[in-house]
Structure 1
């Protein structure tokens, strides 16, 4: 089952850049949940290429997803699922940008705009590779899934994988064509602490939650140091970072309420249940001092990994090296992705791999390289030829 040169794409830099620019120009911010127009665009474009594509209305009919597939479905050949998300984070203050966040402007080798790297470049590569597979013909199947809600940890990819199945997956996040076989998990925690208010001229009559939190710095630091000793060879250490603090009602009122937010990055060896227990235990000291403490995990992306030498990783790594000279050492991503839905939920081995630049994600004047996009299409075509053609 190997014919890597069978799938021919003929994609030029100009065509790839134009498609990416079209995708970037569609405002698909989430929040506020604007995925529908770009999903409709993708279906229309794939339909114009003669590809069987449809809107998938779960889990939210107002924010449909895309499922498209090509191939004969021969059980003797494989099924490869290409996965991208179409939502993008808001651009922030547009005055900070030197390029229109939704202009899709091209300068030389770069296409600028929100989502260019994260991850409309990956979506464009998947669309163009799917077209090539359709035109060249495959014995197995190639499926493209375009998800809603990835930026807000919604079950977009998860629900599509209840509808489609495959032998391998490629989550087209920006990696500059480096194969990542593991991704860190992410959990956000909101810790609410309640004390007693009083006039600031008589602080002893109240219980100051800010004083309590500032005095509690040492246990938090100790916890962070302890979990940093948990390490993964490809994605580094476990992290817990306080990122937001809200407290106080007025300058002369002892604060009786504070909300502290933590960004918790975790490894595949750590369970979400274990994280919850650790966070609860961490604040027992404040409870013993008489403060009321409640803790809520508000968002979760589970960690996931496959063997660095799994077939899908080995094949894509080899073609990325042959096409673009990309390193072949095992590698991981220190951020969370929908790889977790493939590996943890659907039991499908999947890598994180795409043409965008990871460091450009969520930045001002975000851009994606055109040459890597074209190389990415070539790598995908070779991978399809090897895995899905007998």
Structure 2
């Protein structure tokens, strides 16, 4: 092992080049096009002399990546860096002023879908792994690049079935702020059945839209009650109606509707209890004669570690020293694969990365290359502190 602090030679130009190449690999999910990006990551890491593998679980046609370096000494820590390589679709491309999958560079920004969420984090993890490999570490540093994060698929969870560690960093966009808690997310579809009739005789039918409009008071009361459930780092619970499908023709009383709720919840809330809350919420609609079914269609669990856990304090201090980042405890209002580390694998993990959270899923999404280079430096110092024995 080479003595001294782990060094890297990443410039903003090299950072821009790598991030641009990652963005240029269209890895939209849905439908799940991660393969080209995964193969590029493995090829690049192997060119750097690292041991990198494609993992064809849980889906053979959508491989994930695992790469590692280090001696694996039991006297030193093992750190897992985690990123997801799937990105949300770009939407209406006419709204973009750049090609979302070109990876264009302008000044200190790389543009394109996934630049901030979260291929800048993946790039930082790749560079840090290279630096750790060139330096040599007593413990182990592992980079996992997962599929399916945007659609709650078991990408990271599957990888962690075979990858262990003492600490984890989920490289989501936080602008180098350390988040130790993330909200949970559940999506619910509420299906209503009424009775159709001609719109000239509405009393002969049972209008599902009338039912939903009359339901506003109950929904408002529930949302006000949720606002009182607060976490000091991520705020209050939420229940937001986000989609409504109803009606077949202008002069036909609609007899069916599907209302979708986005329910954000805190670590102390239980998903089974939330299921019951949503079912109780729509009970007045049943009492008004509508047939109601409620289905939870997607779930991301909430997760939290103590703000004073070692991985949090170490990264927080180095982020402050390198980039002047605030050291106050912080949380993320969105859901991430931190839950797979904390809840499934029992690995204390933070949410932290160089991307800009406000750029996630936006038109003309971009990420800053200066923050990417800073992130590599923070990761190198973190690896030095946690994975290298003191001589």
Q: 2:138 — aligned with what?
A: 139
Contact 1:4/1:381 (8 A) holds in 2: no
Cα-Cα RMSD: 1.0
Distance in 2, Cα, partners of 1:363 & 1:251: 34
Aligned to 1:260, the other structure's residue is in SS state: strand
| Aligned-pair CA distance for 1:378 | 0.2
**Counterparts of 1:177-196 in structure 2 under 5 Å?**
177-196=176-195
Measure the CA separation in 1 of the matches of 2:290 and 2:32: 38
Q: Distance in 2 between matches of 1:82 and 1:136?
A: 17
**How do residues 1-390 of structure 1 correspond to structure 2 at under 5 angstroms?**
6-390=5-389
Shift of residue 5 of structure 1?
Answer: 5.7
Runs of 4 or more, structure 1, over 3 Å off, are none
Separation in 2, partners of 1:65, 1:11: 25
Instruction: Give the TM-score taking structure 1 as reference length.
Output: 0.98
Which sections of structure 1, spanning at least 5 residues, go unmatched?
none
**Aligned-residue offset at 1:249:** 1.3
Contact kept, 8 Å, 1:4 with 1:385, in 2: the verdict is no
For structure 2, the 5+ residue unaligned runs are none
Q: State the distance in 1 between where 2:136 and 2:355 align.
A: 27
Instruction: Tell me the secondary structure at the aligned position of residue 258 of structure 1.
Output: strand
Distance in 2 between residues matched to 1:26 and 1:157, nearest whole Å: 20
Cα gap change, 1:359/1:151 in structure 2, threshold over 3 Å: closer, same or farther?
Answer: same
Cα distance, 1:4 vs structure 2 = 11
State the alpha-carbon separation in 1 of the partners of residues 258 and 239 from structure 2. Answer: 16
Residue 6 (structure 1) shift = 2.1
Aligned residues: 388
Q: How many angstroms apart in 2 are the aligned matches of 1:133 and 1:141?
A: 9
Rounded Cα–Cα distance in structure 1 between residues aligned with 2:318 and 2:137: 18
In 2, distance between residues paired with 1:4 and 1:182?
A: 35
Residues 8 and 136, structure 1, Cα contact 8 Å, conserved in 2: yes
**Is the Cα contact below 8 Å between 1:121 and 1:356 reproduced in 2?**
yes
Rounded Cα–Cα distance in structure 2 between residues aligned with 1:335 and 1:266:
10
What's the CA shift string for 1:221-246, capped at 9, x where partnerless? 00000011000000001000001111
Q: What SS does the aligned partner of 1:131 have?
A: helix
Q: Secondary structure at the match of 1:31?
A: coil
Tell me the CA shift for residue 7 of structure 1: 1.1
**1:99 Cα deviation from its structure 2 partner:** 1.5
Cα distance, 1:287 vs structure 2? 0.9
What is the TM-score normalised by the length of structure 2?
0.98
Report which stretch shifted further, 124-133 or 9-18: 9-18
